[in-house]
Structure 1
């Protein structure tokens, strides 16, 4: 220290640094700063990444429209946008706008084409009894439940235009095999609507899978002779039969507990996994391991690439004369294609396969392999091929996780502990520590990225998922997946017993970890779901942080936190009404849902409670708190000062008209003299609404119904549902 200099205190230094930081913040030329960052991003080609989200917006807009838009308007829109992009190629900003608009219009067009290709006849209303003939296309063995079969339909009684496929359910279907021609008698029903607006819609998913309804089988099916199906169906049946044979071989060898888990990793068929094991994997954050996706495809293809390259490198003459890297890439592509077919080619697997193809195509062309641009290209291809997959949790979570993973590596967020100066033992320990830290960091960031999507679809969060992934993923990477690949190979070329046993050993250790983590106190929490708006806002923030390479990526945190804030402040429905009107749940003064008795529709009430973040079961005694029922009907408190009445008889209607704020009449019509209630829902309105939620604010209702959200789209099964009439009637109207 120089003579006469004053010692600087910590507080004084902090104050000085704070003043300097504020001066730099206020003195920053934000316009020049953003322009400089944008120039760097443009040099990296990052604006092109937004073509995939733009196409996704086009898909979402098309699916959200209340009616099918005219296709002839879409082609000129794409042409005009592309023309703008090429005409303004010397003006990058305008050219980017043109190409973004073209991608958006491309999303509209791909969705339009997809809908027209899969549209077909459906079961519109319940048919009490019909004779169904067709081929067994798929079998889902479900733990402790009746098997569920997908039937490729040949005929349904005298119906002139039957649906292409039905889902058949019944215990008498046990023992049937893939490809068999069958006939059975069944009660036919349309695919159900969501239990409430915004919930999962089996009708929407079934429409794009060309499933026209359910068949509840009442008698024993008969094996019959039918004409030989077309070549495409024969190939599909052969592949499905092959997958089922492998699944059965694994389950028979390992038993009903470990067998379904091991089979899920090999063939992707996971419906036979017991519910308690699914809950344990969910609570431990390891449920993603049971669903074949990018992790599994990368391990399979990457393992084949590494193995072939390592073996060929051991032969000196070959290593000097042949492009080993490109040969290994071709073998990895063939291996990935084989695994894609064996695992059922679901959305997440197909996304991963497309990504693997792009990665190894880049290797063959001597280009960078794992980049955000390749991920965006994979998204564009999948959205063009299967646009409706955009709204599935599989698509959303898969791309969110992969984008986060790539961004982590691009931004160099993983620690480097090993150095050349370290001894061999210390270097090994450092690399092991790097792997553990990398797994933890990636798990945390991926969980944050997927949190809005997870809560929107599943309403659950696993608090110790990072612990589960750190403990299990090394076993999965090093042992379980290699044994799964070996099992897949040996099942097709020779005795596979030793490979299945080895896979079962690895699965058992993985299950032990899942149970260990799931046993932690409060391992999972049930929380209210993100709304669509909150989820989109948070996902946009995630994309912003992942897509940009400069400091402007940090602004994505604003959008992500805004989505979380929307989730925290958005209101929950105050009243749920089922499609029949016979089940009602009301939020009382303590913000707790109360139901009008133990329901026949237990499933609907369980979904309402789950969406509300309520851990109670439908049979819980607290659900009936405040409820008053007699032979005429029931009443439930709404908030602290209002009353909901469910009237079952004309006498109850007359009485409730004098005291209820909301009157629900499931099987009748309210008289015109009923003037006291602020809202009346009679039988006609309830049937048209097909399920609704009501937000009660300041004594005024806001109603959202399935009919309103469904509109007049092709996947809406009922003609009544497409009516655009008023969804409720006010007193005196």
Structure 2
């Protein structure tokens, strides 16, 4: 034991000076622990977590260096748990626990598009009929269906409409993405739609300053550039994606070029780098200024201001925040004559994002952004320390850098993209090698030029060149995505795969010394778990409106229309390319599973035999067979059934997710006495 302790001390001593990047990792583990709970911690428990963090910080000075590292880990873990708890309370909003239909009034604060490619408004200052202000959600999100030609929504505009609202739906399947949690952290208490034309009550007079500026700039860009090229330009310059059509988005995703839409490290780096280099060169052209002024520092300060403005204009998503923090650290290092340490800058960016918005840890944006950047920093750091780059002809080095960065970023983000989006772009590297240079050489410099000329009404000069570059990128996206087998569909992994794989990758990249290669073992384990995972034999929607059964040809669905959201997610998670109508045509006649959907079907229901399963979105009488009806599903949420010899094993969303504050009111008590003895339930 003493020898083992000595080995531990010597290994930790070798990490001296390289431990700071592990701080956000431990913080993320604490945040993950909060979200993994099945019930909400009390205020006392949150307070205790902060006490532990403070106690660990104060007591570390009284122990040796090895124990100090342990105390720091405990303190940072507890801080992450507490920060997530405080954040969950800060964004709290009343939830609508019933289906509301009536007038919806509110102020537009954001505009985007729904999964059905319809305009969607995010409203605050909400007013609902016969609902007290303290019971009204702080924000609601409404999709605009039907004929909406009479309204051109803008941020700050007050609108009214008649529509449907309800609480965000729960997970489409027990291990699926929790949409209620996602909505909670945006303070969205209800989602819905309207098919009746929305009306304008007041034109924009106030509202979020950045949102209004974003909308105004987006409208001006799209007035000069028509079609999807203009929508692409608006997305790059302002972060406004509301005009991007589903077809364009799918082409960019299938060619692995969707990252060009997100204002991330590439855009922030190109913008600030262009401003820094251009301004520095311009100042040096005047010899007196170059000799008397700190030209390099002035250019860095100007680039920092421009980057901050770009962050505010873009809406401040995770990728942009991370990119700005890293750029800010680099530019401040230039200003204060300090050396830039990339892993430290990346760790600082992760800390800032996680402290401000801990919920982003669970989203693909955070995971893909930091996976790509961590891998790039590690690989290019090794590249610079070696003499490999010197062996490449100078003229080919930029090409080699683009190739290497595209390859590394693609490999690092591929597992995350596959886990969240169930697809892998086979020709993504080719598309990036062709398209990314156009973004750096043409699009971003032209965008800066257009922004500088916009006050004089001459932005068309810059936008003309920008149009050429973006047209090229869209052409590449559509061409590559049309190739045979351009996209490989993959099934969703179990929940443990991404955390295990992330820790394996981080250990290989951040740990110093040969022990880093131990991280390969958990990476192999994660891959083995993913490959060996099985999808549920039966899936039941949270409201009983749809059933999916695995067949030899793929998952068969009980309905060709309706419950399209759940159908799409199930088929994607299966790694299936079938449409809902195609999956419905596979429904076998004798499955032993009956779906009783609607009151008319309930009237014709003739009962069931023992061993069968009956699913309904209505309330059924007591039956001898296994039953999932509205009264049961109201408590369980979505259900997955696995056939285990002669009996069924059920996994419910209630078991997996528990009951948290973002789930609202869930009926108390056992699932239902009719389930007892008819199946085994995973707790």
Q: What's the TM-score, normalizing by structure 2?
A: 0.90
Pair 1:413–1:651, CA change in 2 (3 A): farther
Deviation at 1:665, TM superposition (A): 4.6
Output the CA distance in 2 between the equivalents of 1:124 and 1:116.
19
Match among 139, 156, 159 for residue 165 of structure 1? 139
CA deviations 1:161-192 (Å, max 9, x no partner) are: 21112112224363233322233332322222
Tell me what 1:605 maps to: 567
Deviation at 1:312, TM superposition (A): 2.5
Tell me, in whole angstroms, the C-alpha distance in 2 between the residues paired with 1:296 and 1:522: 30
- In the alignment, the residues of structure 2 paired with residue 132 and residue 606 of structure 1 have an alpha-carbon distance, to the nearest angstrom, of 29
Aligned residue among 634, 640, 662 for 2:613? 662
Give the whole-Å Cα distance in 2 for the aligned partners of 1:221 and 1:661.
47
The aligned residue for residue 684 of structure 1 is 631
Q: Does 1:465 align with 2:428?
A: yes
- Distance verdict in 2 for CA 1:719–1:281, change over 3 Å: same
Match status 1:476 vs 2:439: yes
| Per-residue CA distance 1:330-378 (angstroms, 9 max, x = gap) | 1111010111122121222122222222222233332222411121111
Q: Tell me which of 93, 99, 104 is aligned to 2:77.
A: 104
Q: Which residue of 2 aligns with 1:646?
A: 595
SS of equivalent residue, structure 1 residue 576: strand
Kept in 1: contact 2:435–2:473 (CA 8 A):
yes
Distance (Å, rounded) in 2 between the aligned partners of 1:285 and 1:415: 30
CA distance in 2, matches of 1:544, 1:493: 52
What is aligned with 1:300? Answer: 271
Match of 2:362 among 367, 388, 391: 391
CA distance, structure 1, for counterparts of residue 358 and residue 69 of structure 2: 23
1:115 alignment counterpart: 88
Q: Give the one of 618, 637, 641 matched to 2:580.
A: 618
1:49-92 deviation line (CA, Å, top 9, x unaligned): 21101111111111221222123333444444443455344512
- Structure 2 distance, partners of 1:597, 1:382, is 42
After superposition, the Cα gap between the structure-2 partners of 1:486 and 1:144, relative to the gap in structure 1 and judged at 3 Å, is farther
Superposition pairs of residues 365-404 of structure 1, within 5 angstroms: 365-404=336-375
Q: Is 1:124 aligned with 2:66?
A: no
For 2:678 and 2:7, the matched residues in 1 are separated by 62
Structure 2 distance, partners of 1:415, 1:248, is 48
Within the candidate set 308, 314, 320, 2:285 is matched to 314
Of 256-265 and 358-367, deviating more is: 358-367
Report the Cα distance in structure 1 between the residues aligned to 2:673 and 2:446, rounded to whole angstroms.
57
Correspondence for 2:473? 510
Is residue 2:156 matched to residue 1:179?
yes
* Offset, 1:729: 0.3
Q: Which residue of 1 aligns with 2:183?
A: 206
| Post-superposition offset of 1:535 | 0.9
CA distance in 2: counterparts of 1:383 and 1:110, whole angstroms: 9
1:690 offset after TM fit, Å? Answer: 2.2
- For 1:120 and 1:133, the matched residues in 2 are separated by 17
> Deviation string for 1:414-433 (max 9, x for gaps)?
986775xx9xxxx8xx2342
Distance 1:439 1:337, change over 3 A: same
Asked if residue 486 in structure 1 is aligned to residue 419 in structure 2, the reply is: no
Q: Which residue of 2 aligns with 1:693?
A: 640
CA displacement at 1:694 relative to structure 2: 1.8
What SS class does the counterpart of residue 269 from structure 1 fall into?
coil
1:562 is aligned, of 525, 529, 534, to 525
The one of 54, 58, 61 equivalent to 2:26 is 54
Tell me the SS of whatever aligns to 2:155: coil
Could you give the per-residue CA deviations for residues 425-465 of structure 1, whole angstroms, max 9, x where no partner exists?
xx8xx234222222222322222222221122101101111
Q: Deviations over 1:640-668 (max 9, x none)?
A: xxx333355588554x224x343435434
Residue 317 of structure 1 and its aligned partner are, at CA, apart by: 3.6
How far, CA to CA, are the matches of 2:362 and 2:65 in structure 1? 32
Q: CA RMSD in A?
A: 2.9
1:214 and 1:85, CA in 2 relative to 1: closer, same or farther beyond 3 A?
closer
Q: Is the 8 A contact 1:257 1:274 kept in 2?
A: yes
Consecutive unaligned residues of structure 2, counting only runs of 5 or more, are none
Q: Does the C-alpha gap of structure 1 residues 262 and 225 become closer, same or farther in structure 2, counting only changes over 3 Å? A: closer
State the structure with more CA Rg. 1
Deviations 1:529-553 (A, max 9, x none): 2222011111111111221243222
Measured after TM superposition, the shift of residue 260 of structure 1 is: 0.6
What is the CA deviation profile of residues 462-483 of structure 1, one whole-angstrom value per residue up to 9, with x for unaligned ones? 1111111111111111111111
CA distance in 2, matches of 1:142, 1:249: 23
- What corresponds to 2:658 in structure 1? 711
Alignment of 1:285 with 2:256, yes or no, is yes
Q: Does 1:272 pair with 2:243?
A: yes
Aligned residues: 667
Structure 1 residue 99: Cα displacement = 0.9
User: Any gaps of 5 or more consecutive residues in structure 1?
Assistant: 1-28, 629-634, 637-642
2:437 pairs with 1:451: no
Aligned-pair distance for 1:100?
A: 1.1
CA contact (8 A) 1:455 1:527 kept: yes
**Residue matched to 1:6:** none
Change over 3 Å in CA distance of 1:80–1:710 after alignment to 2: closer
Matched residue SS, 1:47: coil
More off after superposition, 270-279 vs 358-367? 358-367
